């Protein structure tokens, strides 16, 4: 018996060793099992890779600075958690934790999602005849997937800024969509619109309209990831007018403007887009049938429940029938992808916001967390100005940005000083959300040294 077991174990060991050797020698291992798109999924996530380097440094006893992860940390390095939300979740009825949610989401949460997207402008927009629908999703990422899956034709391109959140590419390529970009900032900033290249945007939009019968635009604003940039009211108006003008001119081309509002509740103007949409309608701009505006809403940052994966796609349009059709399509897509979004946060957050007391308590704690970001950003901008570090304009949210042709080299030089940041296409992302206030000057000093 013992000899038989030994032989079996030896056989298993040999098989494992042979598989290990094959894997090490054959870069095409698994190609016979994976489809052609799956085989393109290679490498590690850049952000988590640099976060891992920071963690390794800390484990080795190094006094390191974390500017990598996109989660808000307290000044002591612990995860910032809105205690009002946490307490509400912990007293939720067991059935709200265990049960399925309706496929489109809990009605109270869907109603709340519209308010989170549009704020105080929701009711005036409703009075102006704008219809709305919402679908619950697993986080803001789920909302982005719904849009990518349904609002563009396979093989066509989606219009983005040239500086954008890296996973956008994955959501789009997974739906067989490409990317077209326009510059983040104009080469010659105007006093009216210093933070948006309207001319570049118009040109790329016109080009896509000439070759596609559907055009989708993804705009992460306010509190843009990875720069912390936010458009001014004038910039938002110019941008929306450009989209509306294009829709009117190209009446046979479907236009979808998606506002990625992942960080908007940390911005100075959290519902600026609701205001801009309202103002354009009140000014008489024509909202044509071929234009849809939709919001990717996330509770991860605003309610500090990253792991509960709760968000929504909110779509608005003047035609109630169009909105009803979109609601149906999104619900079916969700059913065919993730079934139903998690229930617990939908229930808890909608219950919390249903009372003025709960909403106010959440708001006060959110304001405290927002003040951490404001204080860190102000100090960082001050330090960079003193040290002649040319960071990009940055106003709101979790990040700041240094434009550079060789971001890897800059990040490596900062890492040599035990300051860990994230090199991305076109520059280095500074995660102010993770940097304790006392470490902010070290980040500016590391960047200054790296640039010399």
pLDDT of residue 182: 98
- The pair of three-digit structure tokens given for residue 87, joined into one six-digit string: 């307490």
Q: Tens digit of pLDDT for each residue in 258-289?
A: 999 999 999 999 999 999 999 999 999 999 99
pLDDT of residue 18: 56
Q: What are phi and psi of 418, to 5 degrees?
A: 65, 30
The answer to whether residues 111 and 55 belong to one domain is: no
- The pair of three-digit structure tokens given for residue 170, joined into one six-digit string: 């994955």
Supply the pTM of this predicted model. Answer: 0.92
Structural domain includes residue 224:
yes
Domain interval for residue 255: 101-354
pLDDT of residue 376: 98
Share above pLDDT 70 across residues of the chain, in percent, rounded to a whole number: 94
Residue where a domain terminates, one of 300, 334, 354: 354
The answer to whether residues 341 and 364 belong to one domain is: no
Mean pLDDT along residues 337-361: 96
- Residue 175's pLDDT band, with cuts at 50, 70 and 90, is very high
- Residue 29's pLDDT band, with cuts at 50, 70 and 90, is confident
Q: Tens digit of pLDDT for each residue in 234-247?
A: 999 999 999 999 99
Mean pLDDT along residues 161-165: 96
Residue 164, pLDDT > 60, answer yes
> What's the structural domain count of the chain?
2
The answer to whether residues 376 and 419 belong to one domain is: yes
The answer to whether residues 74 and 107 belong to one domain is: no
The answer to whether residues 224 and 304 belong to one domain is: yes
3-state secondary structure of 319: coil
The answer to whether residues 249 and 265 belong to one domain is: yes
* 149 contact partners, CB below 8 Å, separation of at least 6: 175, 333, 337
Residue 134, pLDDT > 90, answer yes
pLDDT of residue 24: 55
Task: Kindly give the interhelix angle for 407-416 and 440-451, rounded to the nearest 10 degrees.
Answer: 120
- From CA 373, how far away is CA 74, in angstroms rounded? 10
Question: Among the listed ranges 44-58, 128-142, 317-331, which one has the minimum average pLDDT value?
Answer: 44-58
- Residue 344's pLDDT band, with cuts at 50, 70 and 90, is very high
pLDDT of residue 15: 53
Q: Which position has the higher pLDDT, 14 or 156?
A: 156
Residue 427, pLDDT > 70, answer yes
Residue where a domain terminates, one of 333, 354, 375: 354
The answer to whether residues 315 and 392 belong to one domain is: no
pLDDT of residue 37: 81
Residue 8, pLDDT > 70, answer no
CATH number of the domain enclosing 319: 3.40.640.10
The answer to whether residues 330 and 439 belong to one domain is: no
- CA dihedral (113, 227, 433, 52) positive or negative: positive
Contact 401, 393 (CB under 8 A): no
pLDDT of residue 11: 60
- CA dihedral (330, 331, 335, 339) positive or negative: positive
């Amino acid at each position: 018996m013992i000899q038989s077991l030994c032989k079996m174990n030896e056989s298993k060991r040999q098989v494992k060793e042979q598989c290990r050797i094959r894997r090490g020698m054959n870069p095409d291992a698994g190609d016979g099992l994976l489809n052609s798109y799956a085989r393109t999924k290679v490498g590690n996530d850049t952000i988590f890779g640099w976060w891992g380097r920071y963690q390794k440094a800390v484990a080795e006893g190094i006094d390191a600075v974390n500017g990598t992860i996109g989660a808000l940390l307290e000044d002591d390095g612990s995860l910032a958690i809105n205690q009002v939300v946490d307490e509400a979740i912990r007293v939720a009825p067991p059935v709200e934790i265990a049960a399925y949610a309706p496929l489109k989401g809990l009605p109270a949460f869907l109603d709340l999602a519209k308010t989170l997207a549009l704020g105080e402008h929701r009711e005036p927009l409703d009075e102006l005849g704008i219809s709305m629908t919402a679908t619950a999703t697993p986080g803001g990422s789920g909302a982005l997937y719904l849009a990518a899956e349904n609002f563009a034709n396979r093989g066509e391109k989606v219009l983005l800024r040239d500086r954008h959140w890296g996973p956008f590419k994955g959501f789009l390529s997974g739906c067989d969509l490409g990317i077209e970009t326009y510059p983040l900032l104009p080469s010659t900033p105007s006093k009216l619109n210093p933070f948006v290249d309207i001319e570049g945007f118009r040109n790329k939009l016109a080009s896509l309209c000439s070759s596609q019968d559907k055009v989708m635009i993804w705009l992460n604003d306010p509190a843009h990831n990875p720069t912390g940039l936010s458009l001014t009211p004038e910039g938002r108006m110019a941008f929306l007018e450009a989209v509306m003008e294009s829709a009117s001119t190209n009446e046979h081309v479907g236009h979808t403007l998606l506002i990625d509002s992942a960080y908007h509740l940390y911005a100075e103007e959290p519902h600026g887009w609701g205001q801009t949409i309202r103002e354009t309608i009140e000014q008489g701009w024509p909202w044509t049938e071929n234009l849809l505006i939709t919001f990717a809403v996330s509770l991860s940052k605003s309610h500090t429940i990253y792991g509960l994966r709760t968000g929504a796609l909110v779509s608005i349009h003047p035609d109630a029938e169009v909105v009803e059709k979109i609601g149906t399509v999104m619900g079916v897509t969700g059913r065919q992808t993730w079934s139903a979004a998690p229930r617990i946060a939908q229930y808890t957050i909608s219950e919390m916001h249903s009372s003025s007391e709960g909403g106010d308590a959440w708001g006060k704690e959110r304001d405290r967390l927002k003040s951490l970001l404001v204080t860190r950003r102000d100090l960082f901008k001050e330090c960079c100005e003193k040290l002649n570090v040319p960071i990009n304009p940055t106003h709101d949210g979790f990040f700041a940005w240094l434009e550079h042709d060789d971001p890897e080299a800059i990040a490596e030089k900062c890492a040599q000083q035990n300051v860990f940041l994230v090199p991305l296409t076109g520059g280095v992302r500074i995660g102010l959300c993770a940097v304790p206030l006392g470490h902010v000057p070290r980040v500016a000093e590391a960047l200054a040294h790296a640039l010399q």
